[in-house]
Amino acid sequence: MSVKARRQKPTAAVSDDNDSSSSITGNGAIRGPASKQTLHPPIAKEQEENVFLFYPNLIGYVRIILAVSSLYYMPLHPRTCSFLYSVSCLLDALDGLAARHFEQSTTFGAVLDMVTDRCTTACLLVFLSSAWPRWAILFQSLISLDMASHYMHMYATLTMGGSGQSHKKVDSKRSWILYQYYHSRTVLFICCALNELFFIGLYLLSFSSPMLSPSLLQPLPDLQLSSAQPGSPAHPIPSTLFASPWSAGALELARANKLDSFWPWVITGISAPVMALKQFINVVQLVKASRWLAEGDIATRKAARLRKGKNA
C-alpha cells in the first residue's frame, strides 16, 4: 500500500463513521451532527387586535352617524328625524348581540354605547326644551338625572367592583330593582326603548298639538283678508314676516300643523308609564351608587387610621 493510500484511508474511515451524522464541507471541514444543526422555525409574531374595528363598535359608529343625521332634520322634518333616531336606538340592541356572538365584548364598546345613549337622549331633550319653554326646567332635570345616575353608577362599579367589572353586573343584595333591570335583557330593552319612544312622541307632538305647544298657531277661521298672523294661509309670503328663515319665529311657522296628533298621543300615552319607571330606576341607581362610593370612602379612611396607628 502506498503512502498516499495510507494517508487517505483514515479520512475515508472518518467519512464512513460519520456518514449518518456529519458531512465534509467543500474546504475539508467536518460538520457536527445533524441533530445539532436543526434550525428553529421563526416564532410568528401575534397579530394585535384592533378593538376600534370590532363589529359591535362599528355598529356603534353607525349609531352615531344616524343620531347626528337625525339632529340635522330635527327642527323641520319630524318624520325623517324620528325614523333616523329610532333606527339608531334599535341598533343599541344589535351591537350587544354582535358582541356576544363574535366574543368581542370590550370596555371601550360598553363606554361608547353608554355615551351614545346619553348624548342622543340629551340632544332630543334640548330640542324639547326649546319647543316647550314652559317645561324646559323639567327636561333639563331629566338630562341631569340621566347623566348623573349613569356616570356615578359606572364610576362606582369601576372603583369598587374592579376595572374588569361590568356596570350591568349588579348584585341582587345591593339592589333588587337594579338587578332585575340589568339582569334581564328583555326588561332592559323594553325600558330603554319605551323611554326613548316617549320622548319621540313628545317630539312629534311639538309639531302637531297646539294644546301642549301654544306656539303652534292655527289658521284663523273664515279669514278673507290678508293677515300677519303666523300660520295663517291668508298671508302671501311667510318670508316677509321674518328677516331670517332660521329665526325662532320662522321655525315655528314652518313647524305649525305638520302632523296629525292622533298617533303621537297614542305613542306618548302607551310609553309614559315605562318612562316614569325608567326615571325611578335612575333615581335608585344614583342613590345606590352614592352609597357604594361612601362605603368605599369609609373603608379607605378606616384603613388609613389603622396604618397611622401602627406607625405611631
| Half-sphere exposure in the Cβ direction for 176 (13 Å, CA) | 0
Note the pLDDT tens digit of each residue in 218-277. 444 444 444 444 444 444 455 555 566 666 666 766 665 567 788 999 999 999 999 999
Residue pair 97/211 in contact (Cβ under 8 Å)? The answer is: no
What average pLDDT does the chain have? 79
Top CATH class of 51-213+256-305 equals: mainly alpha
The catalytic residue among 117, 171, 222, 297 is 117
Q: What is the pTM of this model?
A: 0.72
Q: Write the pLDDT tens digit of every residue in 68-93.
A: 999 999 988 899 999 999 999 999 98
Q: Is the pLDDT of residue 216 over 70?
A: no
146 three-class SS: helix
Predicted confidence (pLDDT) at residue 7 exceeds the cutoff of 70:
no
- Is the pLDDT at 295 greater than 60? The verdict is yes
pLDDT bin (cut points 50, 70, 90) of residue 35 is very low
Handedness of CA 22, 24, 30, 31 (dihedral sign): negative
How far is the C-alpha of 194 from the C-alpha of 294, rounded, in Å?
33
Query: Sign of torsion, CA 181 186 192 196?
Result: negative
Enumerate the domain spans of the chain. 51-213+256-305
How far is 137 from 195, CA to CA, in rounded Å? 19
* Residue type (1 letter), 93: A
| Cβ 302 vs Cβ 242: under 8 Å | no
C-alpha count within 13 angstroms, C-beta hemisphere, residue 49? 7
59 to each of 72, 91, 135, 143, how far by Cα in Å? Answer: 20, 7, 34, 25
- Is residue 117 flagged as an active site residue? yes
Residue 30 pLDDT greater than 60, yes or no: no
Instruction: Name the packing angle between helices 78-101 and 107-131 (round to 10°).
Output: 160
Q: Write out pLDDT tens, residues 156-215.
A: 988 887 766 777 888 888 889 999 999 988 999 999 999 999 999 999 998 887 666 655
Q: How far, in Å, CA of 281 to CA of 150, rounded?
A: 11
